[in-house]
Structure 1
C-alpha cells in the first residue's frame, strides 16, 4: 500500500501546478440516477419525464463534458450502490456495509448511542465508523467541504467537514424565514397529507422542502458566520438577490468555489464532497397544479446550451407568488434529462474553475450517484435496477482510460480517497471497501471478484457470471445487454456452465457475513426494539 501511495505522489508531483504534491479531490455524488441515464453507458433506453422507459432521443441527456472525462479518465461498467439513498450515503462515507453501520434502509436504521451517550433510534454513522471520508482527508491535511444534500443523522461537523452548504440539511429544519417553498404536515391526514405553505392549499405529495427553486440553504462555519450553522441568505447583499429565481444547485456550487479559492490561497489541498440534489424528483412549487407542463417527477432546470467548446446559461427570470408563477421562457420543461444536462454544465464549471486556478492537472474528479432513477430503479429489488449507478473517475497519472469492465462498490470510494490523500487506514480498523488506486494507476487488470449491496434484509450479490437480486432470483450476467438489465434468469442450474455454478457457490459462502439484518440490527450490545415492525419484510432464500 505504501508503494502505491508513493507511486501516485510521484506521478502527481510531475504535473502539479501548486506547491503541494497532494491532489485536490472533488466527489460529485448525484441523486437517484441510474447508469442507463448517462449516455456514456450506451443504454438503448432511458427515463422520460413521466418516469416511463423510453428510447426517444429528445429525452436523452447530453453530457459532452462528462463523456470526455470518462474517456480521458475512465468509467466503470458495473458500479453498485444501495437501491436507496440512506444506506448508500452511509456506505460512501464510511467504506462499510450496513452490518457495521446499521443503516439498513431509509427509515430503517439500527439503534445506538450518540456522542452524548444517549440511546437514539438512528445510530450516527460517525459513531459506528469514526473514520469517515471527511475524516481521512482532514487528517491528511486537507480542507474539507460538504455541499448539497445531507440525510445523515447527528452533527454535520462530526462527519469530518470544516465547512458546509446544505440544501437543506433535513426536514427538522423547519424555521427557515426566507422562503415559503415548503410543506407542513396535516395532522391526522395520513402519510401524504401536507399543505403547500406557498399557496396555503393541501397537496398530495411527500413532505419536503424546496431544494431547487427558492431553496432552503444552511451554511456551516462559513466566514460570514464562523463556528455557527445558519440559514442563508445571511448578508444584506445575498438577501437582496434571493428569490424564486435562485437555484439551489447554483448556490451549492458557488459556496464550493468560494471554499476552493480560500484553501488554494492558503496553500492547502481541498476535498469537496458535493452531494447534489440533481436527479431527485421533487414537488414543483413553480407549477403546483401541473397546469403548464405534462406531469413530471422532475422540476424544471435553468437552460444551458453547449456550442462544442463551452456552455452558456440563460439567467432564470421567475415572477409571481402563491403558486402562480411566470418563468418567461428562461427555464427548461421538466424531466430528468435536463437535470443530467445541468450536472454536465456544473462539471464544466468545475473544470473551468480548476483551470483558472491552475490546478486542473492536480485534481481528482469522481462522478457517481447514490441509487437508481425514481420510477425505474430506486428501491427496486429486481436484478440490478436499483443499485447500478454511473461511476466516472478522472485523475492525473491514471493508466486506465475509457470503459473498464470491472466490478466496483460505492464503499470503495472511501479507501480510494484515503490512498489518494496519503492517509494510512490503521490495520485494525476494518472496512469493506477496496481502494481503486492499485487498479487505476498500474497494469492490474481486475479490481473485485464480486460486489454486494442491500436494502433492509434484501441481499444483492454478483460476480462476473451470476447475480442474485433482492428477491432471491439468480441471473446470468456473463453477457452485456442493450438496456443494461435484461439478463436471463437462471431457473435450472444444470443448464448453465460449471463456472456459473462454481461462482454461485462462492457467493453463497460470502453472503452470511453481511446478511445480519435479523440477527445484529443495532449497535453491538443494544437489544432489538420489540416494537420494530418486521411484517413487510421476509427472510430471503439462501439458495
Structure 2
C-alpha cells in the first residue's frame, strides 16, 4: 500500500488497564504480582515476557517515573483533559463532581462540559481523523461529544440506556430483586452468583461491543455484531481485545487510503480483573485467561481459541493462557507486535508515533492505594522510528498522564488558548532537543488526598514523605523521612517547594462540584450532612459495642 502523502504523523495512544510499571520486565523490578494478585511474587513463571514492548522502550524511550492517579476514572480524566481535578472534578471513581446540566437537571459533571478541549477535540483541531476503541469509563453517556469520529466500545456496564439490552451476549451479571431481596445473577447460568461482585457485562469472552458512527451501521450507536458475516462468526470464542484491534486496523486502513492522518485512542481492558464466565467458580483468580500465544523465531504464534460448552460449563481444550496479570501483559505484547506489523504493511511505520502507558497500579497492589507511589507508578513508552528524537532508552525524568494532551496538541500544530488552563506539559521539547529534564514534579490524587513527587522527595496521600533519590529493587520501598533535621538541605528545599504547589489543587472540600443551581447546592449539602451523620452514628455504635 502507498504511504500517506501527508507529512503530519499519525498518533496512537494505548492505555493499559490497572497495570503497575513493576509488571513490565523493562522496569527491572525484583517483585511483581502473584497469579491471584493477593501477594507479591518473585516466581519467574509469573513474570511477563515482553520482547515487543522492550523494543518500544529501547528503540524508542521509556520513562523511569511516570505517574497517573491511583484509580481508573480520575486517571482517564487527567489524560483526556490534560488537567487535574480542581478543574475537571473527577476526584475518584465514586466522587465525581456533580453539575446542573443544560436541561436544569443534576448530573455527573462530564469532561466535555468541564474541559471542552479534551484530547479528541484537540486531535480533531489538528486535522486528524479520530477513533476511540475499548473501555470508555465515561459513564457511557454522550460519548459522541468527546471529539471522536468513530468509537468501538467494550463498555463493561450491564445496561446502556441508548441501546437497551444486548441481544447477542448473555455474559452479564445483573442485579435482581428476588423475594424482596437484591441478588446478583449470572445471566449465562441463570443462577445467583453466590459471592460478592458487581453488575457488569463481559469485555473479554463473548464481549458486549457497541459501535459509534461506524461505516457498517446506519445508526449513531449500535450493538455489534451488526452484519450477516459478523453475526455468523460471533460467539463464546470471540475475544474483546481482538475485536477492538480489528476495528482499529480497519480504521487505519481506511484513513491511509483517504490520505488522512489519524489519531487512535486505544483504551484496552487488558490488565483489568474480570468475571470469569467460562469458569464462574474461579472467582479468586482476578485475571481471566487470554488466547494462548507463543513467541518463536522473532514473532508470535497464536493458538485459535477452541471453547465449547454452555451455561457456565465450558471446556477450553488447552487453547487459553494461564490466569494471571502476566498473561495480560504478554497479550499486550502480542498486540504491539500486530500493531508494528500493520504499520509496516501500510507503509506508515516511519510516520506514526506510539505512546504506551497505563491508568493506575495493579489490582490488589497499587490500584486505589495512596501509599507511596503504589497507585500512581505506571509504565510510559514513546516509540516513533521515523522521528529524530534526541532521547533513547531509559529516561530518568518525571512524566504525568496529563502531559499526553499537550504533546498531541504540539504534534498536531494546535495552539491551546492562553486563558485555558492546562496542567500537563508537552513532551516534545524534551524529546527533540538536548533538554535534560521534562518537568520538576508529578501529581496524583484520590478524593481529598494529594500525592506529589519531585526528583528527590515524595509526599504520598497518607502525608508520609520519602527520599526518592535512588530506586529500590522493588520500585516502592523508598526510605521514609521521619526526621527532617537529619536530611540534606536540598531535600528540605524541594519539600518546601512542593508544599507551596499543593494548595492550588486541594479544592475537594470546598469546590468539589461543577456549576450548580442553588437548589442543587442545597440538595448536595443535605446529602453530605446525612452521610456524615450516618458515619458518626456507625462510629458511635462501634465504640459503644467495644465498651460493653
Q: Could you tell me which residue of structure 1 aligns to residue 150 of structure 2?
A: 163
| 1-structure distance, mates of 2:105, 2:112 | 15
Spell out the pairing of 1:146-161 with structure 2 (5 A cutoff): 146-153=132-139, 154-161=141-148
Q: Deviation digits for residues 281-308 of structure 1, max 9, x if unmatched?
A: 0110000012xxx941100000111114
Q: Distance in 1 between matches of 2:201 and 2:80?
A: 24
Identify the residue that residue 410 of structure 1 maps to in structure 2.
Answer: 401
Q: Aligned pair 1:77/2:68, yes or no?
A: no
Residues in 2 aligned to 1:168 and 1:125: alpha-carbon distance in whole angstroms: 17
Residues in 1 aligned to 2:6 and 2:304: alpha-carbon distance in whole angstroms:
37
Give the RMSD, CA atoms, in angstroms. Answer: 1.9
1:201 matched to 2:187? The reply is no
Aligned to 1:34: 20
2:310 maps to which residue? 321
Question: In the alignment, is the contact (CA less than 8 A) between 1:74 and 1:401 conserved in 2?
Answer: yes
What's the counterpart of residue 245 of structure 2? Answer: 253
**CA deviation after TM superposition for structure 1 residue 48, in Å:** 1.3
How many residue pairs get aligned? The number is: 519
Partner of 1:373 in structure 2? 362
Distance between the aligned counterparts of 2:456 and 2:89, measured in 1?
29
Counterparts of residues 107-126 of structure 1 (less than 5 Å): 107-114=94-101, 116-126=102-112
Instruction: Out of 50-59 and 150-159, give the one that drifted further.
Output: 150-159
Query: How big is the shift at 1:535?
Result: 8.0
Partner residue of 1:448?
Answer: 439
- CA 520–209 in structure 1, closer or farther in 2 if over 3 Å, else same: same
How far apart are 1:117 and its partner, in Å? 3.7
Q: 1:134 & 1:535 partners in 2: Cα distance?
A: 42
Which has the larger displacement, 165-174 or 266-275? Answer: 165-174
Shift of 1:112: 1.3
Q: What's the CA shift string for 1:460-494, capped at 9, x where partnerless? A: 01111111111111111111111000001111000
Gaps of 5+ in 1: 1-15, 539-543
**How far apart are residue 189 of structure 1 and its match?**
10
Change (3 A) 1:287 1:64: same
8 A Cα contact 2:156 2:201, kept in partner = no
Corresponding position of 1:343: 332
Matched with 1:241 is: 233
Contact 2:211 2:221 in 1 (8 A): yes
Structure 2 partner of 1:475: 466
Find the residue that maps to 2:217 and give its secondary structure: coil
For the 8 Å contact 1:192–1:206, the answer to whether it is kept is: no
- 2:206 matched to 1:214? yes
The equivalent of 1:142 in structure 2 is 128
Tell me the secondary structure at the aligned position of residue 187 of structure 1: strand
- Write out per-residue CA displacement over residues 434-472 of structure 1, whole angstroms, 9 at most, x where no aligned residue: 000000111100011111110000110111111111111
Deviation of the 1:113 alpha carbon: 3.4
- After superposition, the C-alpha distances for 1:29-63 in whole angstroms (9 at most, x for unaligned) are 01000000011101001011110210100000011
Q: Which residue of 1 aligns with 2:487?
A: 496
The aligned counterpart of 1:178 is 168
* C-alpha distance 537-505 of structure 1, shift in aligned 2 (>3 A): farther
Give CA-to-partner distance per residue, 1:478-537, whole Å, 9 cap, x none: 111110000011110001111111111111100000011001111145537121346899
User: Partner residue of 1:9?
Assistant: none
Aligned counterpart in structure 2 of residue 276 of structure 1, from 264, 268, 275: 268
**Residue 109 of structure 1 aligns to a residue in which SS?**
coil
User: Does the aligned pair in 2 maintain the 1:150–1:170 contact within 8 Å?
Assistant: no
Deviation at 1:409, TM superposition (A): 0.3
Distance of 2:369 and 2:180 partners within structure 1: 24
Question: Are the aligned partners of 1:383 and 1:467 in contact in 2 as well (CA < 8 Å)?
Answer: yes
- For 1:472 and 1:486, the matched residues in 2 are separated by 16
CA contact (8 A) 2:158 2:173 kept: no
Q: Structure 1 residue 61 and structure 2 residue 51: aligned?
A: no
Residue 365 of structure 1 and its aligned partner are, at CA, apart by 0.3
SS of 1:105's partner is: coil
More off after superposition, 522-531 vs 502-511? 522-531
